[in-house]
C-alpha cells in the first residue's frame, strides 16, 4: 500500500496540487485494488492510517488542522497538505542542456518547485514543435493547446484548479508567435454587399437595427454619406470578444469601422457613431 500512496502523492505533485482529501486517497486505493475486498485484504483502513502516520512523521504531509475528522476509529483529518521539497531540483541538468538550444530554463533553475514530471512532458512537446516550426502551419490557440498539452482549453480556461499551468509559456519566455498559434475571435453574423476589398465596415449592436440598416444599404447604397461594404451584427457586448474575427474578412489596418450602439467603443480601430 505504501507504493500506491506514494504514487498518489507523486501524481498530485506532478499537477502542482498541494492538498488532498483522505476519502479521495481511500477511493484511489480501492480502485487500484479493484474493489473493497482486495483493499481490506491489504490491510484496509488500518493500514491506510498507519501509512498516513508514517508520512506525517517523515514530514511528507501534514494535516490541515481546521479540517474536520473523518469519523472513523482511529480518526484521521479529512484534509491533508503535501509538503513539497521546493529547493530540490528534480530534472536532469544534462537533459535541460540538450533542449536549451530552443528553450530558456532559467526560471526552472531558480524555481525548482516547477520541475515536475508533467511539466517536463509539456516541455518536450514544445521542444519538438520548435524544432520543426519552420515547416508548421499557423493554428488557433485551441488547436495548438490540444497538440502540445492534450487539452484544447489548456491556455484559455482559467477556471481550473491548477492555475500555475497557464504560465508555462511565460516561464519559458515563449510567445504565441513562437508556437505559431493565434487567438481567433468567435465568428459573428455579417453581410457583405459583394466587395472583395472591404474598406468600410459598420457594426450594429441591435438585431432589428442590423436588418433595417441592411435593407437601406441594399436599396440606397449610401447611408448618411457612408457606403458600407460590410455590416456586422455585434450582439451587444459579445463583439468585444469576437472582434478579432474581423481580420478574416478585412485588412483592418486599412479599413474604417463605425459602431452604432450604446456600448462605448473600447476596441482599436472603431469609431463610434
Name the phi and psi angles at 140, rounded to 5: -75, 165
Cβ atoms of 115 and 108 closer than 8 Å: yes
Spatial neighbors of 116 by CB under 8 A, at least 6 apart, are 13, 14, 15, 16, 90
pLDDT in tens, 140-153: 888 999 999 998 88
Cβ atoms of 153 and 112 closer than 8 Å: no
pLDDT in tens, 219-247: 877 777 788 888 888 776 666 666 777 77
Identify which has the larger pLDDT, 160 or 34. Answer: 34
Nearest to 171 by CA among 136, 134, 120: 120
Every domain of the chain and the residues it spans: 2-82, 93-182, 190-272
pLDDT of residue 52: 92
Q: Give the percent of the chain with pLDDT over 90.
A: 34
Identify which has the larger pLDDT, 200 or 241. Answer: 200
- With bands split at pLDDT 50, 70 and 90, how would you rate the model's confidence at 80? very high
Amino acid at each position: 500500500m505504501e507504493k500506491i500512496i506514494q504514487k498518489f502523492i507523486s501524481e498530485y505533485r506532478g499537477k502542482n496540487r498541494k492538498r488532498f482529501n483522505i476519502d479521495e486517497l481511500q477511493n484511489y486505493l480501492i480502485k487500484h485494488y479493484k474493489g473493497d475486498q482486495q483493499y481490506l485484504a491489504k490491510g484496509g483502513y488500518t493500514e491506510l492510517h498507519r501509512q498516513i502516520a508514517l508520512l506525517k512523521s517523515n514530514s511528507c504531509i501534514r494535516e490541515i488542522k481546521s479540517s474536520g475528522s473523518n469519523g472513523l476509529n482511529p480518526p484521521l483529518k479529512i484534509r491533508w497538505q503535501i509538503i513539497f521539497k521546493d529547493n530540490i531540483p528534480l530534472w536532469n541538468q544534462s537533459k535541460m542542456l540538450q533542449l536549451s538550444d530552443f528553450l530558456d530554463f532559467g526560471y526552472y533553475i531558480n524555481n525548482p518547485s516547477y520541475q515536475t514530471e508533467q511539466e517536463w512532458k509539456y516541455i518536450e512537446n514544445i521542444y519538438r514543435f520548435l524544432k520543426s516550426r519552420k515547416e508548421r502551419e499557423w493554428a488557433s490557440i485551441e488547436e495548438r493547446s490540444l497538440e502540445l498539452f492534450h487539452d484544447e482549453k489548456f491556455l484559455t480556461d482559467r477556471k481550473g484548479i491548477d492555475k500555475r499551468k497557464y504560465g508555462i509559456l511565460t516561464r519559458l519566455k515563449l510567445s504565441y508567435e513562437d508556437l505559431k498559434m493565434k487567438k481567433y475571435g468567435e465568428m459573428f453574423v455579417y453581410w457583405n454587399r459583394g466587395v472583395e476589398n472591404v474598406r468600410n465596415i459598420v457594426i450594429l449592436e441591435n438585431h432589428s437595427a442590423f436588418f433595417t440598416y441592411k435593407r437601406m444599404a441594399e436599396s440606397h447604397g449610401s447611408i448618411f454619406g457612408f457606403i458600407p461594404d460590410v455590416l456586422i451584427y455585434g450582439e451587444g457586448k459579445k463583439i468585444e470578444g469576437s472582434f478579432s474575427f474581423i481580420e478574416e474578412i478585412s485588412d483592418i489596418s486599412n479599413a474604417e469601422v463605425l459602431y452604432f450602439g450604446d456600448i462605448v467603443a473600447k476596441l482599436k480601430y472603431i469609431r463610434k457613431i
